[in-house]
Amino acid sequence: MTATVTYLHDERERTAFDSNELKAAMRSLAGGVSVITAGVGSSRTGATVTSATALSMEPATMIVNINRSSSTWPIISRYNHFCVNVLSALQQDVASRFAGVGGLKGADRYNDAEWFTLESGASALRGALAAIDCAVEDVIERHTHAIIIGRVLSIERSEGAPLLYHGGQYGNLSPI
């Protein structure tokens, strides 16, 4: 059996809708929370995302989606590295800081947490469930975002429960 794939090539075939509908629909999906870090020294910055995922195991690669209007995009582009810090349920304060809560920007977002430097030069959060150090391999710019493909250089791991994001709120796993 052969699957048929249809691509929309004609602008007239697309359905118009309010982009807030997509945002609301995606909030229905519970996702793991990561902080993407990039840069060195006083030019460090980062962002909280639920859009980090493994692309391939062989070779080991990751994908992150970053808004091109964010302060994180030019730093990733300049340094050609990033770290995916998979947050534990105990690290909601870090997620909030890197999401811009409290108005902190750039290197100030790194305050009140313990960080160490990885092979690429990116910062890793001590106690994160995983810190995945990546060198930028490719970038695909589409619409408002850059899809960044990173070759995995190293991985640090810890134990714990993951921080989740659902319906516009942080949470964690509870037994069913």
Domain range summary for the chain, segments of one domain joined by +: 31-164
User: Class of the 31-164 domain?
Assistant: mainly beta
- Global pTM reads 0.88
Distance of CA 140 to the CA centre of its chain: 15
Q: Hey, is 119 helix, strand or coil?
A: coil
How much is the pLDDT for 34? 98
SS3 content of the chain, % helix, strand, coil (to 5): 25, 40, 35
Q: What is the pLDDT of residue 1?
A: 53
Q: Is the peptide bond before 59 cis (omega within 30 degrees of 0)?
A: yes
pLDDT given at position 24: 84
pLDDT tens-digit map of 22-77: 888 878 788 999 999 999 999 999 999 999 999 999 999 999 999 999 999 999 99
- How much is the mean pLDDT over the chain? 91
Edge to edge, the sheet with strand 130-142 lists 45-49, 34-38, 81-86, 130-142, 145-157, 60-67, 52-57
pLDDT above 70 covers a percentage of the chain that reads 89
Lowest mean pLDDT of 23-27, 73-77, 80-84, 110-114, name the range.
23-27
